[in-house]
Amino acid sequence: MQPFAFSTVPLEPVRYCEALAAPSAGGYASFEGWVRDHNEGRAVRRLEYEAFETLAVKEGERIVAEAVRRFGVTRAACVHRVGALDIGELAVWVGVSAAHRGEAFAACRYIIDEVKRRVPIWKKEHYADGDSGWVNCERCAAAADGRHVHAAEHAVDSAHHHDRIDEAAPGDALLPPPDYSRQIALPEVGVAGQAKLAAASVLVVGAGGLGVPVLQYLAAAGVGRLGIVDGDVVEASNLHRQPLYGPADVGRSKAEVAARRLHALNPAVRVDVHAGRADASNVDALVAGYDLVVECTDNFRTKFLVNDAVLRARKPAVFASVHQYEGQLQVYRPLPHWPCLRCLWPEAPRDGLVGNCAEAGVLGPVPATLGALQAMQALKRLLGLDAGETPALVIVDLLGLETRRLAAQRHPDCDHERPGAPSSAVGPADDIPVELELDFETLAEAFESGLELVDIRESWERAHDPPGLQIPTHLPLSELVHGHVEFPAEGRYLIICAHGVRSLSLTEHLRSLGHPGVYSLRGGLAALRS
């Protein structure tokens, strides 16, 4: 029997079934698609099928061969009717014989889904009102990616599960895992590497701009178990850089939505949801449950919290951060000479010191690039492909399209062997005087205070300032952070940014370095009366 064929005459399932029999086959599963009398609320009287036959047969044969190979079944075949069909007639038949029923069902399901999706077959529906219309089956496959799809898309079959992409339907267990052949083909990966990934577990802290690509690529690659830590809900302003989520997810838990999407992406991957923030009370338990940690938050407090936890647990971790058009990447490995995050940043920056996406703005591909790099570093570690890699801080400038690799060394003063050391060493410093922030109603009032006003916004932020709002002293925060300019060591200053977040962080930081005369304008320029 041909693996895939078209028939202009009524199908003969009994005869096809006999052709699949084999001594090694313990069972047979089949699917029959029948012509139904309604579609999308319209009464259907009969159908016509038309196929682009040469192409369609080739694609159909390919699908059947894939199913036999993937599921290890004995025999499989598919026959599709073309021409005019009446209600109740058999339109498509799929049959699979196999040693066991599990793979027979799975292969059968795979063939019908792929035939619907890939084989060029058009259907003309003749409606009860005399009207008629062509329906391309590919349309259904495209629609299956959307959320708002009518379940009754087809006039012929009931095995068309449009919910399979988005929601974790019970039938998902029958769906095959992705075909990993394109990564197994790499000699460095191979079947053994794929098995390593399947046995591996990765904790992803933060399911935002960095975490989304990390989760998608690790799930698609077949990493056996993923943990998602995120206490936030999806916000409309996240969507442009976190395309795992859509408008319908706004207000829902990121960790939970992400877990469902990942399950649909690869049903073979187990996803653990930790819908809360990582903090000093839970970080060690979280890290203990996984082989590797990928840190994807946008705040330094969590980065150092995770850093300290992976040091204690002696587990590898991949860190990244982005600021506007630039990103930084750093891998930690539990090796004696290997530097940690604190080795590179002994004066641990505070939250918001380099801005965050909310305040500084970001284009989606910037975190996406860094997230993809994090996923790559994680896969390399899990596969053991990073043997020759030396410690480095990698800086990616997406605007200049340049990458810099700064060799990193373990800081002699950084104590990596401190069991039980407080994991929140970047917590709020208690020795900072209370009055970090000052209130002013207008800029003129601030000028009169005797403090020197320092604008730390970036140049692009100042470009649209009205003439009366110009602050002569301009020290962009990005330049301060990168050491291109220094904040004056003495004097009394009022530090100003757009909303008072970055200015407060810088003020705290300068105070912690022993600069007593610095204050932050509370609420930033946005809070001033013009």
x-marked contacts with Zn ion along 401-420 as a string, rule CB under 5 A = -------------x------
Instruction: Using alpha carbons only, give the angle 341, 342, 343 rounded to the nearest 5 degrees.
Output: 90
Identify which of residues 275 and 414 has a Cβ nearer to Zn ion in the complex.
414
The footprint of Zn ion on residues 98-157 (CB under 5 A) is none
Identify which of residues 338 and 447 has a Cβ nearer to Zn ion in the complex.
338
Contact between residue 288 and residue 307 where contact means Cβ atoms under 8 Å apart? no
Q: Residue 500: phi, psi to the nearest 5?
A: 85, 5
Identify which of residues 264 and 340 has a Cβ nearer to Zn ion in the complex.
340
x-marked contacts with Zn ion along 282-321 as a string, rule CB under 5 A = ----------------------------------------
The footprint of Zn ion on residues 324-343 (CB under 5 A) is 340, 342-343
Q: Could you tell me the smallest distance in angstroms from the CB atom of residue 302 to Zn ion?
A: 17
Identify which of residues 302 and 503 has a Cβ nearer to Zn ion in the complex.
302
The footprint of Zn ion on residues 167-226 (CB under 5 A) is none
Give the pairing of strands 4-7 and 121-127: unpaired
Count of residues that interact with Zn ion, criterion CB under 5 A: 4
Q: Could you tell me the smallest distance in angstroms from the CB atom of residue 334 to Zn ion?
A: 11
Q: How far apart are CA 19 and CA 469, in angstroms?
A: 84
Q: Could you tell me the smallest distance in angstroms from the CB atom of residue 328 to Zn ion?
A: 16
Q: Could you tell me the smallest distance in angstroms from the CB atom of residue 384 to Zn ion?
A: 24
Identify which of residues 60 and 339 has a Cβ nearer to Zn ion in the complex.
339
Task: Tell me what percent of the chain is helix, strand and coil, each rounded to the nearest 5.
Answer: 35, 20, 45
Identify which of residues 92 and 287 has a Cβ nearer to Zn ion in the complex.
287
Q: How far apart are CA 334 and CA 110, in angstroms?
A: 43
Identify which of residues 340 and 378 has a Cβ nearer to Zn ion in the complex.
340
Give the pairing of strands 452-455 and 493-496: parallel
Q: Which helix (H) or strand (E) holds 73?
A: none
Q: Could you tell me the smallest distance in angstroms from the CB atom of residue 415 to Zn ion?
A: 8
Query: Would you give the DSSP letter of residue 451?
Result: P
Q: Which helix (H) or strand (E) holds 94?
A: strand 90-98
The footprint of Zn ion on residues 46-85 (CB under 5 A) is none
Q: Could you tell me the smallest distance in angstroms from the CB atom of residue 346 to Zn ion?
A: 8
Q: Could you tell me the smallest distance in angstroms from the CB atom of residue 343 to Zn ion?
A: 3
* Residue 273: Cβ within 10 Å count: 19
Instruction: Report in angstroms the alpha-carbon separations of 67 from 108, 113, 147, 481, 517.
Output: 8, 11, 27, 55, 72
Contacts with Zn ion by CB under 5 A lie at 340, 342-343, 414
